[in-house]
């Protein structure tokens, strides 16, 4: 088995390669003066099983094109098979038609991957668990939940902890997390403008006074949910607030918002690479989880 690191997250790919005990395939990836992507696989992979690790993170369009060009190059070189690990699937939040005239963008991306020289795909903590059905090749959907549970058990006082669902959409996920920890689950009612995405009103159902509060979600995008929820919980007397999410997109000014919010710690995994993060943002590695899944394919 060989592993290729796309340009989106070579650090994670290196960790996965180390966990698997394999070397990374040497590639070249750059952009022509006219803006087109150019890739080249430098190592001989004929007759070998190859795994590509590529997050479809910003700039998502470039990362997707690079991934597709790599799969084509591997097919032409005579690779035995190509399997894909997509730690963060860009466009996955566009999983339905929200208003007339819109595409189902997640389905478009799934079709692009399925129609390439890829026989299997690993996806991680999708916002909508029905998305794997968009692919016409076998998919495996894995979760970082166990990593987050271990973090909580190692860092928080179990007897003073409650889980709060940041919104109705995350209630099922938060309920499962609270059940695994055997702690109380509280809920926040949140109203969002569907056109602008702005949170307009939040209210808490339950008591958090003197408690360590865990907000558990799959993704942080613009930071509004994390910040507004933290402000409400702080006003309600929460002792400490932890926001746990698998994917940290941190779009726009999200990191600036989080840096000044009353949040003890934001905990994410390294599905998306960030060169620098504020002091209150901690990253835990998902490499071993990915390596275990890839190892299972052998």
Note the helical H segments in 78-144.
105-114
Cα 168 → chain centroid? 20
284's tokens: 């835990």
Q: Do 60 and 17 contact (CB within 8 A), yes or no?
A: no
Residue 140, classed as helix, strand or coil, is: strand
CB atoms within 10 A of CB 153: 12
Q: Which of 96, 172, 190, 231 is catalytic?
A: 190
Q: Do 180 and 143 contact (CB within 8 A), yes or no?
A: no
265 a catalytic residue: no
Strand partners, 217: 245
Pairing of strands 265-269, 281-284: parallel
Radius of gyration of the chain (CA): 20
Pairing of strands 37-41, 27-31: antiparallel
Which contiguous run of DSSP H or E holds residue 173?
Answer: helix 171-181
Pairing of strands 2-5, 27-31: unpaired
| Catalytic residue list | 190
């Amino acid at each position: 088995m060989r592993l290729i690191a796309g340009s989106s997250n070579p650090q994670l790919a290196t960790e996965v390669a180390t966990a698997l005990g394999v070397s990374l395939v040497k590639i070249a990836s750059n952009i022509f003066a006219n803006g087109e992507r150019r890739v080249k696989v430098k190592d001989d992979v004929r007759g070998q099983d190859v795994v590509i690790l590529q997050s479809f993170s910003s700039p998502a369009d470039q990362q997707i094109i690079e991934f597709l060009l790599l799969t084509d190059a591997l097919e032409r070189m005579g690779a035995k098979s190509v399997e894909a690990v997509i730690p963060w699937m860009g466009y996955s939040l566009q999983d339905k038609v929200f208003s007339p005239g819109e595409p189902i963008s997640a389905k478009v991306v799934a079709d692009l991957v399925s129609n390439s020289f890829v026989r299997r795909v690993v996806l991680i903590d999708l916002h909508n668990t029905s998305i794997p059905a968009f692919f016409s090749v076998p998919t495996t959907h894995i979760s970082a939940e166990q990593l987050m549970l271990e973090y909580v058990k190692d860092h928080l006082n179990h007897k003073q902890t409650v889980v709060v669902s940041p919104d109705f959409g995350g209630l099922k996920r938060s309920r499962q997390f609270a059940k695994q920890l055997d702690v109380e689950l509280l809920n926040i009612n949140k109203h969002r403008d569907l056109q602008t995405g702005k949170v307009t009103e939040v209210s808490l159902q339950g008591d958090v006074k003197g408690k360590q509060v865990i907000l558990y979600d799959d993704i942080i995008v613009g930071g509004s949910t994390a910040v507004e929820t933290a402000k409400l919980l702080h006003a309600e007397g929460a002792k400490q607030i932890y926001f746990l999410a698998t994917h940290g997109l941190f779009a726009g000014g999200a990191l600036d918002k989080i840096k000044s919010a009353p949040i003890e710690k934001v905990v994410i995994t390294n599905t998306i690479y960030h060169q620098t993060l504020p002091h209150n943002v901690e990253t835990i590695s998902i490499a071993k989880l990915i390596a275990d899944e890839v190892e299972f394919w052998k």
